[in-house]
Chain A
């Protein structure tokens, strides 16, 4: 385990998001101020519609806030150009979505490899890293399978492998267990928790599953687009 100085990886200042739902403004986020430090294992919880997805999209630069500022590893997202932002995501953020993370026509290896291809990692190294990463998430000999030949839990583990393979500073997971049964979901969270401890990568995930919340070391509750509670465990 690395003994690194804790730094602020994510800082949001007064982040507000107003959506336009057919002419009617929807306040998805209402002034969120939050600081997340490196190595955290943080859950963002709240009922459906509370703004979890919106928040994750904004801190990853997938979406722009209506007002406010987001700093990622000290860089202001809104000041980055399109390609810069793409490359920044590629190198600094690993994504795990609720479902359908993987490109169905690509094999497991190709799915995990893709980001390294974008980054221009040499072929031999790519293969080694894919195999090592799959082993880390407890999957062996599935490189040549297509996503549809895997169970839901296995698919999410491949998604974790893809998110982590380029060793980003931050892993963002939007309800990663929502499509899994509770046992598989719990196992997946355990794995993420363990990987967080081992690698020191920052994990932020959203959930509304109480059992999943248990494993978080910091719990941020969102309600109507505002931080309701913020507790360390």
Chain B
């Protein structure tokens, strides 16, 4: 019985090839769009996470509690030696680097600008952030000169300075509140698409910064890179508790950039809405296609009913036809989605320079193919198509054979 139903369904959908092609193209475009949309979304998320974490933030950070709110220069990490020693022993920590932050003023002979003066350890900073990769002139603390300063290209433009030019940086010291001024020579210029980084920051050696701020060997931040990105997103691991002691707090990038995970959750949601709208359209297409095909074959249905097919059997014939249409469309859509996504996964999509959720896209977005796109979505399309077939099926099931056969003459 099963076999004859499949034969009936298959041959009937091949009967009007043009109609079948139009219907299945509509469904398959829907599926392909869903696959591509999902792949793009994943690619974008990965891109944003990578940009956010790799460029400067890292997977996790340790500060003194409330430093992030107050940006108080005196609020340095507590028990720094112990924290540093422990981090060095952590199996999941790949790299970590120390930083100081202080609001300040940078001045050249031409201009002045408010900045955030960042003290860094060049050897580990290189491993953790991408400032060294973004250098477009000079280097990233390659020579052992304590008066070296690395600034963004936009800041260089504002200050009208070039490599080797002299600038003066003024900061406010911890505790005393005294102004402290020192001179630097521009030894490196980087370019970041992110405006805040490109024009609002200046990097000097950690030692120099500590001395200017009069904070001794203390720092404000330790940025950490884990061996796996997932580890940084897992709130269950003991890491967070261990390093949130002594008045410090250890935060994951998901907390440092809370808008990102929120946006991901939202994009997940918008994906469902897109899917539902898409399938709403598809469902009407299928119902329409099936009905057109049914009305042409009323007499046949009448004959099948007359010779003893039960009403459920009649419905089953229509549902098999919907299923056959779904299978054809799914194959077509999966191939289309795969090809489209693969092409863009190779060439990438240029969103660079656009700011999304506070993160400026630095690299091309590469859509990511997943197994779910070719299992869950096709299954959803199949179920949607069968659901769409229910109404025509019900219509045929309750139809009287006499009416069906008379209407055709």
Contacts and interface: CB of A to CB of B under 8 A. Distances in A.
B20 to A, nearest CB: 13
B400 A103 contact: no
Interface string B182-202: 000000000000000000000
Given A62-B306, A62-B402, A97-B405, A114 B4 contact: yes
A89 B4 contact: no
A3 to B, nearest CB: 29
B7 A118 contact: no
Interface string B313-326: 10000000000000
A112 to B, nearest CB: 11
A118 B299 contact: no
Interface string B383-409: 000000000000000001110010010
B303 A100 contact: yes
A82 B399 CA distance: 12
Interface stretch (B8-16, B26-34, B264-272, B331-339): B8-16
A60 B308 CA distance: 11
Contacts of B405: 97
B307 interface: yes
28 contacts: A60-B306, A62-B400, A63-B402, A82-B310, A82-B311, A83-B310, A83-B311, A86-B309, A87-B310, A89-B307, A89-B308, A90-B307, A90-B308, A91-B308, A100-B300, A100-B303, A101-B303, A103-B8, A103-B303, A105-B12, A106-B8, A110-B4, A114-B4, A114-B307, A115-B307, A115-B308, A117-B1, A162-B307
Contact of B304 (A87, A103, A120): A103
A142 to B, nearest CB: 18
Given A86-B309, A117-B1, A103 B402 contact: no
Interface residues of A, number: 28
A21 to B, nearest CB: 12
B271 to A, nearest CB: 39
A118 B309 contact: yes
B299 to A, nearest CB: 5
A215 interface: no
B75 to A, nearest CB: 80
A60 B306 CA distance: 9
A55 interface: no
Nearest to A90: B308
Contact of B308 (A57, A87, A104, A110): A87
Interface string A74-109: 000000001100110111000101001101111000
The 6 A-B pairs of least Cβ separation, nearest first, read A90-B308, A105-B11, A86-B310, A89-B308, A63-B402, A83-B310
A162 B308 CA distance: 12
B104 to A, nearest CB: 82
A57 B4 contact: no
A60 B400 CA distance: 13
Interface in A4-40: none
Interface in B272-302: 299-300
A114 B313 CA distance: 12
Contacts of B7: 105-106, 110
A78 to B, nearest CB: 15
Interface in B321-364: none
A100 B304 CA distance: 12
Contacts of A62: 306, 400-402
A105 B313 CA distance: 17
Contacts of B8: 103, 105-106
Nearest to B4: A117
Nearest to B406: A53
Contacts of B307: 89-90, 95, 114-115, 118, 162
Nearest to A83: B310
A119 B15 CA distance: 28
Nearest to B308: A90
Contacts of B11: 105-106
Contacts of B12: 105
Contacts of A100: 299-300, 303, 408
Contacts of B309: 86, 90, 118
